[in-house]
């Protein structure tokens, strides 16, 4: 069994690239997690996890990550991605929600708020705090908007 992460970092960035994959990779680099091996996870924040501003792991590390991303080749299109964590008023796990779409950063953040509120209602818990990060990008050629919660030790 893997160790339960005790820290998390919220990141969001956008970038262009010559291909969709390069745009995605460039957005990861801009977000500060481009030299990690992302392990996509579902949306639970471990109990007691502490937010840190900067990721401090060796390059190539396996990094559990919940993320939203969108790539587009439509010149002029506005794309956005957002990530949010909801923290309750108890010692239980938190909830992570991710979103990406053809919208503004403000619209993506509003969707994250709605999803976090719904997740806590479904769990019968009180939502005490939300932390949200987002990125938006007006596509020039091939672009990507990315937002993530990186969970680490």
With b for 16 or more beta-carbon neighbours within 10 A and e for fewer, the 69-101 pattern comes to bbbbeeeeebbbbbbbbbbbeeeebbbbbbbbb
Catalytic residue at 98? yes
Catalytic residue at 37? yes
Q: Kindly name the residue from 37, 51, 77, 106 that is annotated as catalytic.
A: 37
Catalytic residue at 134? no
Of all residues in the chain, what percent carry a pLDDT higher than 70?
Answer: 100
pLDDT in tens, 88-136: 988 899 999 999 999 999 999 999 999 999 999 999 999 999 999 999 9
pLDDT score, position 90: 84
Q: Kindly name the residue from 26, 72, 98, 100 that is annotated as catalytic.
A: 98
pLDDT in tens, 76-85: 999 999 999 9
In terms of CATH architecture, what is 7-152? Answer: 3-Layer(bba) Sandwich (3.50)
What is the pTM assigned to this prediction?
A: 0.96
Catalytic residue at 100? no
Q: Kindly name the residue from 43, 72, 100, 134 that is annotated as catalytic.
A: 43
Mean pLDDT within 52-77: 96
């Amino acid at each position: 069994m893997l160790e339960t992460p005790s820290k998390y970092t919220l990141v969001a960035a956008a970038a262009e690239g010559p291909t969709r994959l390069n745009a995605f990779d460039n957005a990861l680099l801009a977000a500060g997690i481009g030299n990690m091996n992302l392990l996509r996870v579902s949306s639970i924040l471990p109990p007691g996890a502490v937010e840190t501003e900067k990721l401090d792991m060796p390059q190539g590390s396996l990094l559990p990550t919940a993320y939203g991303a969108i790539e587009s080749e439509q010149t002029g299109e506005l794309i956005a991605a957002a990530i949010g964590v909801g923290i309750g008023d108890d010692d239980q796990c938190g909830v992570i929600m991710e979103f990406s779409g053809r919208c503004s950063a403000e619209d993506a953040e509003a969707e994250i708020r709605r999803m976090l509120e719904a997740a806590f209602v479904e769990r019968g818990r009180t939502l005490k705090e939300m932390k949200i990060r987002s990125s938006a990008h007006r596509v020039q050629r091939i672009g990507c908007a990315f937002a993530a919660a990186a969970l680490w030790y």
